[in-house]
Amino acid sequence: MAGTHTHALFVHGDSELHRLPASPKLGALGLFVLAVVLTPREAIGAFGVHAGLVLLGAWIAGLKPMFMARRLLIEIPFVLFAIFLPFVGGGERIEVVGLSLSIEGLWGGWNIVAKATLGLAASVVLTATTTVPDILSGLDRLRVPRLITSIAGFMVRYLDVIAGEMHRMRMAMLSRGHNPRWIWQLKAYTASAGALFIRSYERGERVYYAMTARGFTGRIPTFDEKARPADWARALSLPAIAWFAAGWGVVAG
């Protein structure tokens, strides 16, 4: 999973989107996703506009279609649920190549697939063009409580360490012939999870003492540049179009 190496999400580049400060990008992403969710499902044209905006973003950032497609794979479980809906949904039904499908369920399925895909694709564009520290300091600038961003910062920083710890324990177990298939073989798993907790906790204590010794006061200094109004204007132009399309969809529907 992507969690084992946190930089895997970032794609190096020097595009307009890469250079934009994180806070306007985060604001634009939030507003865009909100516009997508509020778009009535019958407004197919508005979804076309949204998809166009995401593709535009991906194109500006220089992201390859295969990269986007691969990152979109994680939504498959929900697509399966969406496919299920037309069969179990109530209401009027229509015949499609011999299958009786619920019209309501078809709309519901379309709604989930369209909105989930657009939301996911938009976040992929953000994480591909913004480094994790930038995202966190961007959240700081958007007035997310300092305690939250600091905890998230430490979490992300030590994710690799903890995941590495877990990986080593798993390798040690595998190399000793551990290959559990049944739930009553859980004991080894729980023992390693317990050990992982103790190691994480003790490492947390050590990190805290080490940082206190170096003058840590509970605030982590940020070094990112402040966004200018022009940055905000450029970033918000995309969700502005999406809101216009959504509003048009509401009025027309």
Partner 1 sequence: MHIPDGFINGATSLGAGVVAASSLAAGLRRAGRVLQDRQIPLAGLLAAFVFVLQMLNFPVVGGMSGHLLGGALAALLVGPWIGLVVMTVVIGVQALLFADGGLSALGLNVINMGLLTVATGWLAFRFLMIVLPKNSTSILTAGAFGAWLSVVVSSLGFVGEYSIGGVGNASLSTVLAAMAGTHALIGIGEGLITAGVLGAVLAVRPDLVHGARIFGISRADTTLLSRRRVALFVAGGVAVAALLVTVVAPLASDDPDGLERVAIDQGFADEAQDHSLGDSPLAGYDVQGVEGDRMGTVVAGLIGLGATFVAGVAFMIVVRGKRVRSNH
Q: In this chain, which stretch among 62-70, 191-199, 225-233, 235-243 interacts with partner 1, using CB under 8 A?
A: 191-199
Is 46 a binding residue for partner 1 by CB under 8 A? The answer is no
Q: Which of 177, 218, 221, 229 binds partner 1 (CB under 8 A)?
A: 218
Determine, following the binding rule CB under 8 A, whether residue 5 of this chain makes contact with partner 1: no
Furthest-apart CA atoms within the chain: distance in Å: 72
The count of residues interacting with partner 1 (CB under 8 A) is 97
Least Cβ distance, residue 226 to partner 1 (angstroms): 21
Question: What long-range pairs does 165-174 form, CB within 8 A, spacing at least 24?
Answer: 165/196, 165/199, 165/200, 166/192, 166/196, 167/4, 169/195, 169/196
- What part of residues 96-155 is at the interface with partner 1 (CB under 8 A)? 100, 102, 104-105, 107-109, 111-116, 118-120, 123-124, 127, 132, 135, 139, 145, 147-148, 150-155
Distances (CA, A) of 103 to 75, 86, 96, 99: 23, 7, 11, 12
230 makes contact with partner 1 (CB under 8 A): no
Q: Is 83 in the site for partner 1 (CB under 8 A)?
A: no
- 250 touches partner 1 by CB under 8 A: no
- Which CB sits closer to partner 1, 76 or 230? 76
The H-or-E segment that residue 99 falls in is strand 99-102
Residue 90 touches partner 1, criterion: CB under 8 A: yes
Query: Terminus-to-terminus CA distance in the chain, angstroms?
Result: 41
Return the closest-CA partner of residue 127 out of 249, 11, 3, 252. 11
Rg over alpha carbons for the chain, rounded to the nearest Å, is: 23
- Given the complex with partner 1, which of 188 and 228 has the nearer CB atom? 188
CB of 56 to partner 1, least distance (A): 19
Which member of 83, 96, 161, 233 binds partner 1 (CB under 8 A)? Answer: 161
Of the residues 44, 205, 225, 237, which one makes contact with partner 1 according to CB under 8 A: 205
From the list 66, 88, 97, 251, which residue makes contact with partner 1 (rule: CB under 8 A)?
88
Q: Are 219 and 146 in contact (CB under 8 A)?
A: yes
C-alpha–C-alpha distance, residues 34 and 122, integer Å = 12
When binding is defined by CB under 8 A, the residue of 11, 85, 227, 242 that contacts partner 1 is: 85
Unique residue bearing structure tokens 């506009």: 49
Q: What is the DSSP string of 118-153?
A: HHHHHHHHHHHHS-HHHHHHHHHHTT--HHHHHHHH
**Residue 244 makes contact with partner 1 by CB under 8 A:** no
Does residue 23 belong to the site contacting partner 1 (CB under 8 A)? no
**Does residue number 48 form part of the binding site for partner 1 (CB under 8 A)?**
no
